Amino acid sequence: MAKLGRPKGSGNKPLKRLLQERLADKYPDYDPVLELVDATIKIKQIADSTGEIQDYKSLVDSLEKVSRFLQPTLKAVELQTDNALTVSVTRKRFDSTAKD
């Protein structure tokens, strides 16, 4: 007989949930994601003002961390068929940012 598992939407780590609740109780207006966005904006201003390559590398690292919270990530999928058919998927953007 299969187990049902935990209910949908419930946290998977009780300690993590406890820490989030304590953080919200102690600092009700604090949001770590928004703080990370603010820090990224400051890093961008510094990189733009100095023009140093190291500052731009820091900006890229910070943008990568922020994007994890804002953009969904794609899961890698490998397809194999019985008769060794190779499937190739090409993605093309059809909006104003598409480059031909």
Q: What are 25-72's pLDDT values in tens digits?
A: 999 898 888 999 999 999 999 999 999 999 999 999 999 999 888 888
Q: Report in angstroms the alpha-carbon separations of 93 from 11, 63, 78, 88.
A: 35, 22, 22, 17
What is the model's pTM? 0.55
Distance CA 13, CA 58 (A): 31
In this predicted structure, what is the pLDDT of residue 60? 94
Q: Where are the domains of the chain?
A: 14-70
Q: What would the DSSP string read from start to end of 3-23?
A: ---SPTT--S-HHHHHHHHHH
Mean of all residue pLDDT scores within the chain = 81
Distance CA 59, CA 53 (A): 10
In this predicted structure, what is the pLDDT of residue 57? 95
- The mean per-residue pLDDT over the stretch 91-98 comes to 64
Go through 49-72 and write b for each residue having 16 or more CB atoms within 10 A of its CB, e for each that does not.
eeeeeebbebbeebeeebeeeeee
